[in-house]
Structure 1
């Protein structure tokens, strides 16, 4: 097929590479305009543009597809289909109508569960046990088009936003090729979404990345893992942001109090753990109550969360063992 491909970040790279490897005629690639990055703030090609340039494919980077001249440029490519994956620009109905078979979107969730900008992170944050990729026929609404093909991806307690992102990027490439085969054979069976099952995956903000230690350990753990690539969860340590990249929920006996009369029971339980880490007094949420090479244990509003990877301002991302080498957080109130 004659394909116009629209995508900008790393998530959209595997699908473009799969299209090229499968022999589809990618006549143009659309990306967002180049933006400054790095310490030198130099204009840098995005991941998808890098692949397109290396393959000798024309690249278009309009600020919008609403102007008639931008739509005419798209029309001149005479695409059979336009594939959209994390493009970052809204396609007006006039643009959606240009390709022979319309526009297909590679969406990183099992629609209609999560619509919007951050479906991967919101699925992890909400405690979903699975997610996936939906190939969708694009419509004027926000991720409201008919579903054409789905793949399923489990979310394990060890998964974070980055690991699920990478899995879905690869699944999206495979799902896209299969969808195009069905499209060419006239065998697609579109499924209308049930709006009653939809949730909006709000855009990620740095403000929401600050951990509230009064929340339950399970909630905090999911937030840290969901945000491990961006915006990265953090807490304040000596007035500076301490970034948290990986975590788990520390198993504790049911109904074991974290302060007050039950303090000695908590300490006894922690001493019996296989980590044999240094122990501190149990206090209010946000207090570091234990540390070992396995992690930094922090009291929360309900349970204990173990931090596995940390980073101080200006420093490198470290494992808990590396972080604690010559440093102790025991008893610190974060």
Structure 2
């Protein structure tokens, strides 16, 4: 078995917590944890610890939550911990060179894409939105750039027409945790060569916004179905139904047939037993799950059974009536 490493961990959301749990279950020693400060959450806006902090406290690990990592006092716990490796997963703060140089064997990052594609904040969602047919996890050596470090290990997973950001998140969290333990073992044995990222194929995964989740039915049904899956579970695709917001949780694309070819974008067509059908710039979007204000997400069949009058053929989505 490779020699155990002394590790400091930096991360914040659930994705990062899965990797911290894998480290805690391994033979390596996690000696301290960095995570972002507690943030307001829920209807009461109460200060809530990050998933990484909650897990770290279960194991009585020292937790540090600086707003930034620019001053020597924020670096001191890492220096005092005498670490071999700093592991960073979705931390959300920029690490200066002074921090990257603290660990004897450097800092490594788990990134949820096949670099150099989808550097940045939302690689899982952007891969689905773009219609990529596969993605994966890259373990990389960190430098001062935005996900520009040398690649140490990569794994792949397919994306199909049912993949949502939620399901892909969970798949990559599990896959990344396994890859992280493998990479640390090979790093401990000095058998983890670093490969520079290629200069071609660089794309950036900008942070998601609620505004961009509004669907434009002049686009193709394929594009819209990808956006619906990419925005599930956040920020959730939406449109308007008269003066109400209709949140769309599940959708599929199909070809338009017959008279559907002449329907205006956004027009509701004859419903299918399990879908609300909407004309698009190209093709038809089959909405399989949606949510009206004040209610919960329902299947299209449930919506039709309870509110069929709201979804009459000819009604236009995305247009005030």
The verdict on a shared fold, with TM-score over 0.5 as the criterion, is yes
1:257/1:66 CA distance change after superposition, 3 Å: farther
Task: Pick one of 87, 101, 118 that aligns with 2:91.
Answer: 87
Within 5 A, what are the aligned runs for 1:102-141? 102-141=106-145
Instruction: Please tell me whether residue 333 in structure 1 is matched to residue 319 in structure 2.
Output: no
Checking the alignment, whether the CA contact within 8 Å between 1:65 and 1:71 is kept in structure 2 is: yes
CA distance in 1, matches of 2:186, 2:96: 26
Q: Distance in 2 between matches of 1:317 and 1:77?
A: 47
Whether 1:289 and 2:269 are equivalent positions in the alignment is yes
1:44 and 2:48 matched: yes
Establish whether residue 311 from structure 1 lines up as the match of residue 297 from structure 2. Answer: no
Deviation at 1:106, TM superposition (A): 0.6
RMSD, aligned α-carbons: 1.2
Residue 109 of structure 1 deviates from its aligned partner by 0.2
- Say if 2:250 is the partner of 1:258: no
Tell me if structure 2 keeps the 8 A contact 1:250–1:297.
Answer: no
Partner-residue secondary structure (3-state), 1:134: strand
Residue pair 1:84, 1:106 contacting (<8 A) in 2 also:
yes
C-alpha distance in 2 between matches for 1:116 and 1:195? 16
Q: State the partner residue of 2:183.
A: 179
Give the SS at the match of 1:290: coil
Q: Cα deviations across residues 35-71 of structure 1 (Å, max 9, x unaligned)?
A: 1111111111111111111111111100011111111
Secondary structure of residue in 2 paired with 1:288: coil
* d(CA) in 1 for partners of 2:261, 2:226: 24
- Alpha-carbon distance in 1 for matches of 2:192, 2:99: 22
Q: Write out per-residue CA displacement over residues 105-148 of structure 1, whole angstroms, 9 at most, x where no aligned residue.
A: 11000001110111111111111000000001011000000000
SS of the aligned residue for 1:195 comes to coil
- Greater CA drift, 73-82 or 131-140: 73-82
Q: SS of 2:216's equivalent? A: coil
Give 1:4-23 correspondences, 5 Å limit.
4-23=8-27
Match of 1:63 in 2: 67
Over residues 172-198 of structure 1, what are the superposed CA-to-partner deviations in whole Å (9 max), with x where a residue is unaligned? 100000000110111011110012211
Distance in 2 between residues matched to 1:240 and 1:190, nearest whole Å = 53
Cα separation, 2, equivalents of 1:246 and 1:173: 28
1:319 offset after TM fit, Å?
Answer: 1.3
TM-score, normalised to structure 1, is: 0.90
CA contact (8 A) 2:260 2:269 kept: no
Structure 2 alignment gaps of length 5 or more? none
Q: How many residues align?
A: 310
| TM-score of the superposed pair, with normalisation by structure 2 | 0.94
Q: Distance in 2 between matches of 1:75 and 1:319?
A: 54
CA distance in structure 2 between the aligned counterparts of 1:150 and 1:119, rounded to whole angstroms? 15
Per-residue deviation at 1:257? 6.1
CA distance in 2, matches of 1:46, 1:321: 37
Q: Distance in 2 between matches of 1:28 and 1:237?
A: 50
Aligned to 1:302: 282
SS of the aligned residue for 1:82 comes to strand
Matched, 1:324 2:304: yes
SS for the counterpart of 1:211 is coil
The residue matched to 2:136 in structure 1 has which SS? Answer: strand
**Secondary structure of 1:208 counterpart:** helix
Contact 1:213 1:299 (8 Å CA) reproduced: yes
Contact 2:245 2:293 in 1 (8 A): yes
CA distance in 1, matches of 2:97, 2:199: 20
